[in-house]
Each structure stands twice: as C-alpha cells, then as structure tokens.
Structure 1
C-alpha cells in the first residue's frame, strides 16, 4: 500500500480511537455523576439516561472502525488453517466480501432508521433521536471503505499470500 495512504489511514484510525476513548471517559463521568447525585444527594439528573443513550453507541461504533482495520474481531482460523494457501486466500476473500455486504446493509438500514426518527426529539436534551442511530451509519460507511481497501489489497497480494506471506 502507498506509504502516504498507510500513514493517513493509521492517523485516522488513531483519531477514531482517541474520540472513542474520550466518549468512554464522558460516559463514565455521566454515569458516576448520576449515581452520586441520585444516591448521595437524592437528586437524580434527568438527562443522564439520554446522555448515556447518546454516548454509548457513538463510542462502540467508532471503536468498530479500529477493530475492522486491525482485524481484532473474532476470527476462527482452525478450519481455515487445514486448507491449502490458495483455499485460505479464497476463504479470506469470501469472509471480507460477506463482511462488506453486511456493512453495506447496516449503512442502509441505519440510515432508514435515522431518517424515520429525525423529527422525534429526545425529551430532555431536545435533540433529534436520529443522533442515536446515525452513529451506526457513520461507522459502517467507514468500515465499508476499510473493507473495500482490504479486499483490494488481498487481491493485489494474492501471489505473496500463495507463497506463504502475510496479508495485513
């Protein structure tokens, strides 16, 4: 892969990881403040539930981008390792294409869902409910782009793979 593209991609992935980490800290602070306020001061924070609903999906789905790039997702290789290198390459390509198709469907379905609730505000925060669901759309668009890049690289590196090299 082009060195410039690789650096830009790694910076972007690092950026999404940092944002997901910041969202995790915010989520922890909101939940801690709610528990402290409710049980120590007997004064619940009414918007904390909505903040949790908003922060959690963004944190999870931004993390999905890095998981896809680094291939840190659950991968079962016991069966795959019993086949020839050519069959392993076909299996990896098939898995990436299935992941891509699923991701495209998630983009479409989450966009429809976000559009359907666009005019419904969250009661306390007074922002559109679509902010809850658009996190799925944004993250899976980026996951689709990563998967397309991985499929292209897998196809381009087919000969290296057949000779026993690793594909990133």
Structure 2
C-alpha cells in the first residue's frame, strides 16, 4: 500500500482507539456518578449514541483494508490463480456497488435529519450520527478501488489476496 494509504489507515486506527477510550471513560464516569453519588450524567447516553457508530464504522475501513471481514473461501481457494483473481475483482465490484449505495443513502438520511437536535447535547443533530456511515463508506470505497486496481494490474499483495 502507498505511504498515503498507510498513513490514512494508521490515523483512522488511532481515531478509532481514541473514540473507544472516550467512550469507555464516559461510561465509567457515568456509572460512578450514578451508583456512587446518585447523580447521573444525562448527556453520556447521547454521547455514546454518537461515538459508538463513528467508532464502529471507522473501524470497518481498516477491516476492509486487512480483509478481516467475513468471507467464504472454500470454493475460491480451489480455483486456479486467474479465476481466483477474477473472483476477487467481482467480489470487490459488488462491495463497491454496495458502498456507493450506502454513501448515497447515508447522505440522504443525514440531510433529512440535519434539523433534529439531540435532547441534551443540543449542539449535535442526528446528522452527526448518520454521517458516520458516509465517512466510513467513502473510506471503504477508496480502499476497494485501490485493491481492484492492484488486482487488475496484477500487482496484488497479501492485503488483496485473502
């Protein structure tokens, strides 16, 4: 993968880890405040509503890059090299098609919900939540296009083969 791609994936991973740390810290503080001091923090529930989708969807970019998604490979493993490459290209084309429609749909739902404010965190809207899908599937789309180019140019690496 190019330096820009490695840099992008590294920083997405760091962002996911940071979001996870914030999420765990916020929930821990909420539990302590609720059960030890009987003073729950109402904004933590909404914060987790926003952080969890961002964390999950951004992690999907790295999962796609590392081919750690679910795959049934029993048939593909038995194919000759050329047919295996064609199969990998076909699968990635289907994933690109799906990613495109996820981007399109998430933009539409984000735009439709841009005026719906959260209850406690009034500066955030539902669009902040739904835009996680847009950002993640744009990243996934870039990774898939890069992997298809490697397959077409027959410069596949371990990150594309599996």
For the superposition of Structure 1 and Structure 2, which TM-score range results when normalised by the shorter chain?
over 0.9
CA contact (8 A) 1:96 1:151 kept: yes
CA contact (8 A) 1:80 1:88 kept: yes
Please show how residues 18-167 of structure 1 align to structure 2 within 5 Å. Answer: 18-126=14-122, 127-157=124-154
CA contact (8 A) 2:61 2:139 kept: yes
Name which of structure 1's ranges 14-23 and 88-97 shifts more when overlaid on structure 2.
88-97
Query: Which of structure 1's runs of 4+ aligned residues deviate more than 2 A?
Result: 165-168
* Counterpart Cα distance in 2 of 1:53 and 1:123: 12
Length, aligned pairs only: 159
TM-superposition CA deviations, 1:97-151 (whole Å, max 9, x none): 0111111111011111111110010011111110000010011011111111111
TM-score by length of 1: 0.89
TM-superposition CA deviations, 1:19-43 (whole Å, max 9, x none): 0000000000111111111111111
Displacement of 1:152 = 1.1
Displacement of 1:75 = 2.0
Question: What stretches of structure 2 of length at least 5 have no aligned partner?
Answer: none
* Counterpart Cα distance in 2 of 1:40 and 1:167: 48
TM-score by length of 2: 0.92
Aligned alpha-carbon RMSD (Å): 1.5
CA contact (8 A) 1:154 1:167 kept: no
Question: What stretches of structure 1 of length at least 5 have no aligned partner?
Answer: none
